[in-house]
């Protein structure tokens, strides 16, 4: 059945198995004229690839991407983009034990019952090697989004490993790249290292929660009622291997709140009288104008800064992303390093984000926040009771090189799915509405 595609206008079809010669995807509906080359895509693939630390599968896959079509002289042509990634490091004999017996917790039994035939080598189509193709497609989506919405960012982080959760007050996006767990909390990274090592050596595995945040997304993406942005985000995340739960914004915790606590109240942005001095030299900020500087804090409080404290890292016509020195952050009791300057005070703003940036299925301009839970890896060295296809009761021990916590490599996959869905909805929005029609105030 033709159920290997997702997306409406930006449509991705993946193909291939874990131990076949290659896997890949076809990306259809990509706008023309966007600079894309293999390096653009490879950057994201390298973040997902196996063997990068002792906490992920030791399979040695270069995951080198080849662009077969749809890009001419480094620019997309608007025709289908076909991407190929060769499988290099298969050890099919490791999977002999699962040719006939079913791994508890894995897809073996369900595939067998449905199709009567399965490529058991490396898990075949149920292997998370398929997610390499999603990350490649996400690399293209990110390149298009960077063209359409400069300053927009999609970032993911691991916020829970098993019973151990991060300290949100210690959240530092820069920390994510510094540890093998994609966690924004350095303390959690240190704790998880020993915890996961112990589980791995004991032949066991553990689950995780991943949070993906898109900032700088304009209001207006998504549509009532079957085209809701959160519907498509949830479906995209749920389609990732091992995902068992999805939350948008407060998610299940919203059920514990009262209406008054959950309401994301709105205020008009600060008037010019409230705005601090602006003395930034260079860049494209106009030092004769005044700017509202909004900082993301763990307490959601607004903070005010002198613009000379910060350096510009990204700028488009509507917003400027800045980095504030760490010292300045700690002096103010803050942990987040990303700031956004909003030009033109006096626009509506939310004072909290329980909704996770989506209301009525449509983006509000706030950060879009999606969390997903992945179960523990089911291929483990601890013997588990099972049956084989002949009806014998048996025990199974799954050898091979498996991820002890699949959540680690699921982070870039979640980011890729978010990027693909947001681009898909940006194209749908452009197709139906063009630009937003509603205004508030002057
Ligand atoms: C990035 C990633 C890596 C994974 N690595 C493994 C692995 O090494 N061994 C394994 O048994 N499952 C692994 N999984 C999970 C299986 O692919 C998944 O459990 C299986 O396809 C069954 O699907 P389900 O869990 O969604 O029901 C991984 C999942 C992800 C997202």
Q: Provide DSSP, 340-391.
A: EEESSS-SEEES--TTTTEETTEE-SSPEEEEEEEPPPS--SS-EEEEBTTS
| Mean pLDDT, rounded, for 233-238 | 98
Q: Which of 37-51, 192-206, 276-290 has the lowest mean pLDDT?
A: 276-290
Ligand 1: distance of its center to the CA of 127 in Å? 6
Asked if the model's pLDDT at residue 320 lies above 70, the reply is no
The pLDDT confidence band at residue 150, using thresholds 50, 70 and 90, is confident
- Identify which has the larger pLDDT, 1 or 368: 368
Asked if the model's pLDDT at residue 310 lies above 60, the reply is no
Question: Residue with structure tokens 């959690």?
Answer: 188
Index of the ligand 1 atom closest to the CA of residue 402: 8
**Is the CB of residue 328 less than 8 Å from the CB of residue 309?**
yes
- Taking the C-alpha atoms of residue 290 and residue 22, their distance in angstroms, rounded to an integer, is 55
Tokens at 68, concatenated: 């077969």
- Taking the C-alpha atoms of residue 83 and residue 159, their distance in angstroms, rounded to an integer, is 31
Index of the ligand 1 atom closest to the CA of residue 401: 8
pLDDT tens, residue by residue, 365-422: 999 999 999 999 999 999 999 999 999 999 999 887 899 999 999 999 999 999 999 9
The pTM of this model reads 0.85
Contacts of 200 (CB under 8 A, 6+ apart): 54, 55, 404
Q: Whose CA is nearest to atom 11 of ligand 1?
A: 379
Ligand 1 pocket test, pick from 57, 133, 377 with the greatest ligand atom count within 8 Å of Cβ, gives 377
Predicted local confidence at residue 155, as pLDDT: 97
The pLDDT confidence band at residue 439, using thresholds 50, 70 and 90, is confident
Strand, coil or helix: 175: helix
- Identify which has the larger pLDDT, 272 or 208: 208
Predicted local confidence at residue 348, as pLDDT: 82
- Taking the C-alpha atoms of residue 38 and residue 83, their distance in angstroms, rounded to an integer, is 9
The pLDDT confidence band at residue 97, using thresholds 50, 70 and 90, is confident
Ligand 1: distance of its center to the CA of 142 in Å? 25
Residues in contact with ligand 1 (CB, 6 Å cut-off): 57, 106-107, 126-128, 131, 240-242, 375, 377-379, 402-403, 406, 409-410, 413
């Amino acid at each position: 059945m033709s159920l290997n595609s997702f997306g409406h206008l930006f449509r991705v079809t993946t193909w291939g198995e874990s131990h076949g010669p290659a896997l890949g995807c076809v990306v259809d509906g990509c706008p023309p004229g966007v600079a894309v080359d293999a390096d653009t895509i490879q950057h994201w693939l390298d973040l997902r690839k196996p063997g990068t630390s002792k906490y992920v599968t030791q399979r040695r896959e270069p995951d080198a991407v080849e662009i077969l079509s749809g890009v001419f002289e480094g620019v997309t042509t608007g025709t289908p983009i076909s991407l190929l990634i060769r499988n290099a490091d298969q050890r099919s004999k490791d999977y002999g034990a699962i040719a006939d017996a079913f791994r508890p917790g894995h897809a073996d039994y369900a595939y067998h019952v449905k199709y009567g035939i399965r490529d058991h080598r490396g898990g075949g189509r149920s292997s998370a090697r398929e997610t390499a193709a999603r990350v490649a497609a996400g690399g293209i989506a990110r390149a298009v989004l960077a063209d359409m919405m400069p300053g927009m960012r999609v970032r993911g982080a691991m916020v829970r490993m098993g019973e151990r959760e991060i300290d949100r007050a210690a959240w530092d996006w820069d920390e994510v790249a510094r540890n093998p767990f994609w966690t924004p909390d350095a303390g959690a990274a240190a704790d998880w290292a020993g915890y996961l090592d112990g589980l791995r050596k004991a032949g066991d595995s553990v689950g995780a929660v991943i949070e993906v945040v898109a900032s700088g997304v304009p209001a207006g993406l998504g549509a009532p009622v079957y085209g809701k942005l959160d519907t498509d985000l949830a479906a995209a995340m749920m389609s990732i291997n091992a995902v068992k739960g999805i939350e948008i914004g407060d998610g299940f915790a919203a059920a514990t709140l009262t209406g008054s606590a959950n309401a994301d109240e709105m205020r008009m942005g600060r008037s010019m009288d409230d705005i601090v001095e602006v003395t930034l030299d260079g860049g494209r900020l106009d030092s004769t104008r005044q700017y509202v500087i909004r900082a993301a804090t763990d307490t959601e409080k607004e903070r005010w800064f002198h613009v000379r404290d910060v350096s510009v890292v990204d700028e488009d016509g509507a917003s400027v992303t800045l980095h504030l020195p760490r010292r300045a952050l700690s002096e103010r009791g803050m942990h987040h390093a990303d700031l956004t300057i909003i030009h033109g005070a006096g626009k509506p703003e939310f004072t909290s984000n329980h909704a996770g940036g989506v209301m009525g299925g449509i983006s509000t301009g706030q950060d879009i926040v999606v969390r997903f839970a992945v179960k523990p890896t089911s291929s483990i060295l601890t013997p588990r009771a099972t049956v084989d296809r002949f009806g014998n009761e048996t025990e199974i021990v799954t050898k091979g090189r498996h991820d002890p916590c699949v959540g680690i490599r699921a982070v870039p996959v979640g980011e890729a799915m978010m990027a693909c869905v947001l681009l898909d909805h940006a194209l749908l929005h452009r197709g139906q509405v063009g630009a937003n029609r509603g205004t508030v105030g002057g």
